[in-house]
Chains A and B, each alone.
Chain A
Amino acid sequence: MTDPLIVARNLRKEYGDLVAVDDVSFEVAPGGSLGIVGESGSGKTTVAKMLVGLERPTAGRIEIAGTDCSAPAKGWRERSRRAQSLQIVFQDPYSSLDPRQSVGDALREVLVVAGLGRDRTQARARELVDLVGMPERVLGSRPSALSGGQRQRVAIARALATEPRCVILDESVAALDVSIQAQILNLLADIRERTGVAYILVSHDLAVVRHVTDDVIVMRYGAIVERGQTGTVLDDPQHPYTQLLRESVPRPGWVPGAGATT
């Protein structure tokens, strides 16, 4: 068996008296995919923020590609080294891009910061918009000229720009129309096949997780209540909370994978 790409051990996060994340452990293999589900407030985003170094765990250990990443990076050198391993796409497509920056400038800046020569950034930026299924002319567009779905594609392109080994998607399709959600989820599956990138997909929506991930953990009040292969857990949930989650999210009119047959 290959070494896991990401290891989280006994992660805990307290905000004052509130325990937002309580003894959470999981692994993600290179090229693997993990879903994290749970209702709002169950601690999913906090786990994601600790993984990318935006929050410091109260306790526990994080290893990414064999390196200890338990605490937020000190200084930008370490920050930019970690950036090569793990990226994140946030939920809100309206605030996750700098409103003053064109799509092309945004992509080129990531590439320049990552050390790609300026002469090669233009070509790579074109590749990236192509990878997320957008026409080249969006390179000149400001975010305000794009729809939510388009912005989220740009955010995904930006996260993939430096070819990280894993991307976290924190409710990244939640704000989008169902048909756009399906398109983007299919895009993610497609990109994974082509590039071998691993995903951690955070969602309160079981259908979304089922569509993209192999394994899943179910969180409640900061703790994991159930874990296993996505199909098994969602088809035959053992924990009453998972059963409840499954019943409480009816998605009439949307069969996973429909809307996306190309």
Chain B
Amino acid sequence: MSVAQVASVVRTRRRSRLSHLGVIGWLALAVIVVFVFVAAFGEALAPDDPNAIDIAYANVGPIPGHPLGFDDLGRDLLSRLLVGARSSFVGPLALVALSTVAGTTLALIAAWRRGWTDATLSAGFDIAFAFPGILLAILLATLFGAGLAVAVIALTLAYTPSLGRLLRATALRETGMEYVKAFRVMGYSDVRIVVRHVLPNLMPFIIAQAIIMFGYATLDLGGLSFLGLGVQPPTADWGVMVAAGAPALLQGYPTQTLAAGTCLVLAAVAFGVLGDRLARMWGVE
């Protein structure tokens, strides 16, 4: 087979069916579907008021009607976990959406203009990439006060260059394809070529990367909330719950920290695995 034919086979394979996800991929997808459902309907699913404090039940273990027991303030843990899903996913969703749009736009501009534009943007990616996002988050939180919005902005600045770098390489390959040259000769505008032809061909790559990124985002934002730099207590949020459960953990009541931590890790792993499987299935690793 010639190089061209191999390339063609790879491109055809991109459209292969979901059945190629594999057992692990399907499992990850199932976990994500459950999480998304809980994030959407957590309040309705919660058996109890997640914010109702009753010191009498502080750190009480499972009793009928309260399968996970209570936290240090006597709030129902299961309810807080279910309601906390939304807060734990809204941040990552905003973060991934912002970083994906920004990273994709910058990568396309770099790949399309090439020359010094590409050199400048690539250097910018490298510098920004080297700067730790958590440090930036601490800096911004000191300047503007701690909160989810500030944490999302800080991590967007950290995530954008890493997607930008990855996508730029792929976009360079795509913009070098002969169909792009042919469209230029046929008088298509730059915007038409990039938006209607190059971008759709990069979508499998972008989607897979965004899903993988979502996994990191749940952990990083959960971590920032844990440090008190993201979602603020008393909001029910997994990162906040991991932190809030820490003192009780030392006193021998690990349920809150363990349950919230498990949810965070499970979400991160599920998104990571699904993104990875999709990338492999579409031939865009």
Contact = CB atoms under 8 A, between A and B. Distances in A.
26 contacts: A53-B184, A54-B184, A54-B185, A76-B188, A79-B187, A81-B187, A83-B185, A83-B187, A84-B187, A87-B186, A88-B182, A94-B7, A94-B8, A96-B178, A96-B182, A98-B197, A98-B201, A99-B11, A100-B197, A100-B200, A100-B201, A113-B188, A144-B8, A158-B186, A159-B182, A175-B2
A92 interface: yes
B4 interface: yes
A84 B4 CA distance: 29
B285 interface: no
Interface in A64-100: 76, 79-84, 86-88, 90-100
A155 B12 CA distance: 19
A81 B187 CA distance: 7
B201 A99 contact: yes
A54 B182 CA distance: 10
B14 to A, nearest CB: 8
Mostly helix, strand, loop or mixed at chain B's interface?
helix
Contacts of A96: 178-179, 182
Contacts of A93: 4
Contacts of A98: 179, 183, 197, 201
Given A93-B4, A113-B192, A87 B201 contact: no
A93 B179 CA distance: 10
A114 interface: yes
Interface of A: 52-54, 76, 79-84, 86-88, 90-101, 109-110, 113-114, 144, 148, 155, 158-159, 162, 175
A148 B8 CA distance: 10
Bin chain B's interface residue count: 20 to 34
6 pairs of A and B residues whose beta carbons are closest in the complex: A80-B187, A83-B187, A94-B4, A76-B189, A96-B178, A90-B178
Nearest to B191: A76
Interface string B166-191: 00000000000111011111111110
Contacts of A82: 187
B201 A92 contact: no
A113 B186 CA distance: 8
Interface string B1-17: 01011011001100000
Contacts of B4: 92-95, 148, 175
